[in-house]
Every structure is written in structure tokens, then in C-alpha cells.
Amino acid sequence: MKISHHFDDATLIAYASGSLPQGMAVLVGSHLHWCKACRDRAREADAVGGSLLEEIEPVEMSGDALAQMLDCLDLPEAQRLPSTEPEVRSQKAMETGLPAPLAELLGRPLDQLQWRRIGYGVHQYDLGLEGPGATRLLRIAPGVSVPHHSHRGNELTLILRGSYSDELGRFCAGDVADVDTDVAHQPIVDTGEECICLIATDAPLKFSGLMGRLAQPFIGL
């Protein structure tokens, strides 16, 4: 698996400190299952994040906040806690082919879920987790696009199968999109294979086009 899109430092610091909503934590843990680079960064965030987080306003952090913090600290190796190793022996992960945190929640492969059709070429499976925000799987047919939308909060996406492209680039299995209120985008599935992704938000999305606004009550994104 070749992964080219990763989390912001701010997201990994929030994950390491245990302050993400459940759905986002499952999504981050799932990417970490596949991505050694982010596991290493999360370990560093775990070591430095806890004591500093309370003094830092998360919304004001820049994307390279962790790197800046690490530059300021000279931690001995022993303080870098190994807290985020992948659960490679997870039985459910082996049975489903999914990363362990998601596999444990779903308990079955993607093809055996009760998908609900929510529009042309789009199916959804709501994980039904406690808020704030929502955590769902979207299964999108080839050539279909999600209505153009921006965000009131943060939105994390982990691609599980297939790929899509949007204003930010091309995202394939294993990649994550880590977007906040500044970003408006319109993902479109860009191969002949359907795209399945896990999406976790901490606030509702805001659709910009007329079709998006019409679709919002039905999609419930």
C-alpha cells in the first residue's frame, strides 16, 4: 500500500492526547494501522502533546505545530512512548481485511454491511457512534461525485477501497484527507472501481450548491 496523504500534526496531537471524538479516533487509529510514518509521528505527539496541549489553542495550530514543538524539546528516547503499534494480531482485521480499530467496530467485511442507498450511486452505512459529529462509511459508484461542500468543523476521510480526486489531489486506499473549515471540495470517483471511505466529522457539513442544499436533509451529512 503506497500512502501519500497523511494527517496534520494537530490531528495526531489530539489523537495522542485522547481528545478526539470516538469516530475520529477510530479513523486515525485505522490509518495508523497501515501507516508507519504516522505511527512514528503519533508516538512523538504522545510524548510531547500531553503537557503542552492545555496551553495551546488547537484551532490556532499550524500544520507543522508538532515539528515546531519537537524543535523546542530535546526528549530522551525513553520518553517517547510506544502507544500506537498496529494491532496486527487482531482476528477481526485478518477476517475482514480492514484496519483493526474499524474491523473491531464493524465485526464483518464491507461487503456484508447493511448499506442504505441515499442517492444516485451513493450508499451509506452509519456507524451510529456517540457524537459530536457523525461517523459513516460512504460507498460511491464510479464517476459519481459528492455535492460540493465546505465544513463547519473538521472532516477526516480514510479511503478503504478505490480512489477519488478533488481540489486537494488524488486519494487512494490508505490515504487520509484532513480538512477543516477553510476547505471547500467536491470529490469524484475517478476509476472504474467504486470508492469506499470512512468519514468522521465533528460538526455537520455545509453544502454550497442548490443540489447540495436539497440533498442535505436526505443525506444527513
**Contacting Zn ion (CB under 5 A), which of 27, 28, 38, 146?**
38
Backbone angles phi, psi at 124, to 5 degrees: -135, 150
Of residues 124 and 157, the one with the C-beta less far from Zn ion: 157
Which stretch, 35-43, 58-66, 90-98, 143-151, contacts Zn ion (CB under 5 A)? 35-43
Instruction: Give yes or no for a contact between 47 and 79, defined as CB atoms under 8 angstroms apart.
Output: yes
Cβ at position 34, least distance to Zn ion in Å: 8
Cβ at position 5, least distance to Zn ion in Å: 8
Of residues 38 and 146, the one with the C-beta less far from Zn ion: 38
Identify residues 66-125 at the interface with Zn ion (CB under 5 A): none
Of 128, 178, 126, the C-alpha closest to 155 is 178
Of residues 36 and 108, the one with the C-beta less far from Zn ion: 36
Contacts of 182 (CB under 8 A, 6+ apart): none
Q: What is the total count of residues that contact Zn ion (CB under 5 A)?
A: 4
Cβ at position 218, least distance to Zn ion in Å: 33
**Contacting Zn ion (CB under 5 A), which of 16, 26, 35, 93?**
35
Of residues 37 and 211, the one with the C-beta less far from Zn ion: 37
Instruction: Give yes or no for a contact between 202 and 162, defined as CB atoms under 8 angstroms apart.
Output: no
* Residues present in the chain in total: 221
- Pseudo-torsion of CA 76, 77, 83, 88, nearest 10°? 170
Of 157, 215, 218, the C-alpha closest to 189 is 157
Cβ at position 79, least distance to Zn ion in Å: 22
Cβ at position 11, least distance to Zn ion in Å: 10
3-state class (DSSP) for residue 171: strand
**Contacting Zn ion (CB under 5 A), which of 6, 80, 152, 161?**
6
Tally of CA atoms within 13 A in the half-sphere of 214 that contains its CB? 4
Cβ at position 6, least distance to Zn ion in Å: 3
Which one-letter DSSP state was computed for residue 7? Answer: -
**Cβ count near 157 (within 10 Å):** 22
By CB under 5 A, is residue 45 in contact with Zn ion? Answer: no
User: Rule CB under 5 A: which residues touch Zn ion?
Assistant: 6, 35, 37-38
